[in-house]
Structure 1
Amino acid sequence: MKFKLSLIASALLLTGCLEVEDNKSNQELADAVNAQNDILKQQNQQQLILAGTLENVSTDGSLAGAKVELVVGDKTYSSSDVATDGSFTITDVPFGSDYLIKVTSAEDSFLNAFIYGTSRGEASTSVTESLGTIYLSKGIDKTFSVEDAATDEAVTGLTFYSYTHAIQGNREGGISGFLDNSYQSTYDAETKMYTIKVPQDRRNQIRVSFDIDGDKEDDFEPQSTSFNRTVNPNLSTAYLISNINLLVQDTILVDKAIDVSHNLKLRVSIIDKNINELEGVKITAVNDDDKSFDFTFDEETKQYVADVTYESGIDILVPSFSKGDVYYASNNARISRNDSLQVNTHGFDNNQNMRYRSYSVDLDSEELDIVLAVRETTLESEVEMVTASQVSDDYVYRVFYSRPIALLDDSVSLIQKDKISVVKGNNSDSDIWLDGQTYITEQDASVDVDASLSLNGTKLTLKPKATLEQGTDYQYTIKELKDVASEVDANVNNDSSREFTTKYTSTTFDINSLIIDNNNYMNNGLPIVTQNTAGQNVTPDNDYGVANLILPPNLEDIFENLIIEQVKYVRNGIQQLDVRRIEVVRNGDAFTATNNALKTAENENVIFGDGVSSSRYLRGLTIDDGKFSYVRLGYNSFQDHTNSSENNVTFNYSYELKSGETKAGTLTLSVQ
């Protein structure tokens, strides 16, 4: 028996593991071998370690009682002791798992912090993954009241959430538990005051829902512009305010929320100067979202009737028309919603002169009777613009006129302003540009536009025929029109043009898409473009260049806040500490330069046309032609990162998206 065990032990040393049939005759042997297998498996398993540093930015900087825990699923992993310099490690972290790091202090040296991340996938060797620096702050109790601005009464039933969490850029899974991992406000019914704990020396966000009754509609709206409305999956509706702005407010004034959409039945009487009710008139209503509503005629009441929906206001439009030999000019009425329904229309005085009329009706009115007078006119009267819309989100422009109009060949146009044209010397044999030259111009360019008339020829609708370029300036222009009744060309100059800027279709962001570019015409030590347009080779030269962090051009569409904090850099294999903080976006405003990338060989001769500023173009980048934003990471110059020469920059980042989502982490990018 001893001999048999020795053989088994030798086999274990050679093979590592041995499977043994587990039966009654050798149960003890099986138990011993299986236990040995478990030990060997644990020894062979690679280990993932998370390492980071705590820093209390408050005056005393105390980390007394600091504790760091990592939670994966329902299991908690305790870290090693936090060192005096704030460093800590967490061992045996599961690979490829979403985790939550909890940073707490038993002595209340700082506010709790929560970091969400995802550990890396399995590796062939043990790996230490850096969490970077986790910044902490002492807490302070902020007490304030919330009052109805109209009644001065206290508003109760609110819960404010002070978030001290961050989301690492590597986080892959969804985030839950925001409300649990936050400081919540309390309310004192006697003093009518709210109290919430916020960081004293670090910026954070406080969120609140003003949907008190839970119907997913705000019951109140804050007056302060420090509040920003946001989308939050954990709250039906939410507003956010920074602790910096909250700390200076002792009273938050709110207004009762007004329903954003309202229904109204309109009954319109069209009369002439003799108070005769006119039938057979084509009228329409258009709300502020440019939605149109048609009217039907009620034979019994002699009124035009329509059921409309609107938010802030609606226009009733009557185009010009004729009855027999009598011509009537167009007219309109406006209904605006404020503290009451304000009706602006036209009528006649005792001398049969047309007069502007304005009056108010109850805000809760479900049905509204309006009298709208129209005046007689002649064919010699000039066409006038009644009203014009703003350009809609789908880039449609609508204009209403006082009389029916027809379009001439050049009545309407749509131009792209300062369209960039790049002509390279080898593009064509028929142009004047030599090989080796690239010519840049910026000129207005015509865009095909679809023009249509409706409402008896008094409503003109313009829209582009093709997809417009993103983030670009355009302009609609209306020139001479034909007056249908008089058959005379009319030049309507008032508000005859409208400028607008197209939006970017994507507002998503991936921190790993950022690039550090030294603008040296090289990438990884090799030329980006190897020849100019004359076919002449460039001379490879991995020059030094200032490091620029390349960012999306539409930062203000993506971020509410974005902070980059450079920590260190490696230049030609030598590491240097270089701490600098850059506020890229603050409160929705971007502090960056925007430019146009132009990809050419270094030995290409670029010629800029009249009025074109060369400073608006940047050559030598790794990115394709187009608009981009960038910030300069100090004034240190770098060569490209290559296999033989390490060049990179490490920085901490923290950002808040327009949606309210926040993330923070550390990133090292090679210089390109």
Structure 2
Amino acid sequence: MFKYSKVALGIATCFALTGCLEVEDNDDSKKLAEQVEQQNSIIQEQLDLAKQQHEITQAPITLTGKVVSVSEGASASDATISVLVDGQWRESGSVDEQGQFSVAKLPAGHEVLVKVASASDAFVTRYFAVSTPYSTITREESFDLLDLEVSAGYTKEFTVQESGTGEGLKALSIWAADIVADDTMVGNRRPRDAYLEQMTKEYSQKAVFNEEKSVYQITLAKDLPSALLYQADINADKIADYRPEFAPFNFDAETMTLVSADNVTDTDNFYLEPVKQQAYKLALTVLNSDGNVIEVDRIVAQGNDMGAKFATLNAETMQYELDAKYFGQLTLQIPSFIKGDVVFNGSTVNIQSYDEQNGSYGVEINGNYNRVDLVDNTLNLVVKVTDNLVEETSVSVLNTKGMRTAEDHAAIYFNVPVAVEADSIEVQKNQDVTISSEDGLTTVVAQPVTVAVSTSTDLNNTRLKISPDAPLEVGRSYSIKLNKVQNLASGETESIGYSTGYTFVQTDSDFSLDSIVADNDNFRKNGKLILTKNSAGQSSSDTQSYNPTYLFMPINFANVEHFSIQYTGYTENGEQYDLNRDVTVVEDGRINTWNTDVARVHQLANNEQIVYPHNYTELNPGTTLTNGNYLRVRTDVYYLGDNTSTSTNDITFAYKLQLKGDKTIKTGTLTLPIQ
């Protein structure tokens, strides 16, 4: 039963009292009845209005959009729309003759899943994950999803074999990454990822193994390729059991990519390597600066997943021994320590990849790299630590670790134990951008800001950890300044004036060629205005605008060693033209800032006025991309319109891509439509 609000009841009471006052001295019974009826009618109207406003407040959003088939000969005319809201499906009817649809009475600020299906199976059922906008108004609000693309389907058959043995892997969980995340879901990363993961498990296309044919079979969209993923952690022990052949990976990843979207139609045979545990005996000898064997306070093993955390001293051999059992890499830390009047400086040992051909490990000791043979399943290492007298030892920085992802921490390693006061640390963001829009005017303020952090020390007080109190912004740089520290070896407070320089923050996801978008920043998508009104409610100009075309990419190159492109041509209104320009995006694991820059994307109407009080370089207000920071790459192509069904506009480039830890250089050609 509808519950009337206190405001509505108050209005009703007010009208009732007013009615009584107006008819108090009226003895005409007929007139009295008419006036009472009139007042009751007014009261009912107010109550009905209150009820209507309450219902709108609970579900004010109307989703609109258009279902478009991208497959020749496959019609979307019989498309049906369903919406999943709070775990319940709402059957919302069919599209009209133009493919348009409308779904009313949806809650604001909710994740919903839009299902587009064909009664005749003319196209593959597709799902679109959407976050409805927040609303504080008491009237219905329309939210346009624009074009929801669907495609005819086909059955892909493929095999998965174990690398080396060729044994068929028949029991893998494999699915398509075909749940489309609308731009509205990008802003809040954690809830978005959790929701998409849940929806993918329930509604994505799943592969089934056909025993008769000895192949996996899965239904995919023919003209909207999607990547295939698989469950890498088969036995649910939080460690991957199979990894992609010749590709970098995370050992604790539950899900991995079997094939990317750009290669899904070209490959039918896939190979996975079993993830092997590293298991051997480690024997470490520690020498002082004179070459004499010494004891240390402790040796910490970081990443020894199934083994001990600390190495133990063998009193007979004077070697520190450790049963190494891990996946990936192993790091040994010898913290700085004091014995008598001597300070022994800390050391770091990184044990890297194992080369099965020559039976050796890559080992880095205090920055010096060598390969060390595994003999009788024992890895023998020697580390020399430097030393100084306590009174002669001043604080110095041995090594640093920057904050490279949004939720990363920084670390500074010292030669002696230290204590640091919180006010001695300053973490600065190079440019904090705030954007506000009102009455047709958008103000962009960009200036450096100080970031709140928490600090702690460990490794015998020789490592300072600096953790931001809130996630960092991807696409921005951060620096750390340390003014003074207390030298616990000497008891003195020292001013060191140390600065780490700026570290560029990227996302923690892997780079994908599928994420590259060619956009002309013309305030349109598929030839239609993205925003039809500015912040003052004034209608946007429908005049076509032309701007330079750029390639936009998410800032997630942490796993990339080299990435370069060569533009070879472009199409303008159906006419093809040659183009020859080389651009190196990533070289030696670093983003090449000569050919790229970070662009701030923020969608605005084309009649919105923009002001930059602090000389902020540039805002991209007219792209199809979700608001945020992107790596932008020049194309030197100007005045291309949107790629539409009636006008072909695209750009073509060849690429070379090498991932870190992989000697293979992947090459290919991409043609991207202009957005």
TM-score by length of 1: 0.47
Structure in which a larger fraction of residues adopt helix? 2
For normalisation by structure 2, the TM-score amounts to 0.47
| Higher Cα radius of gyration | 1
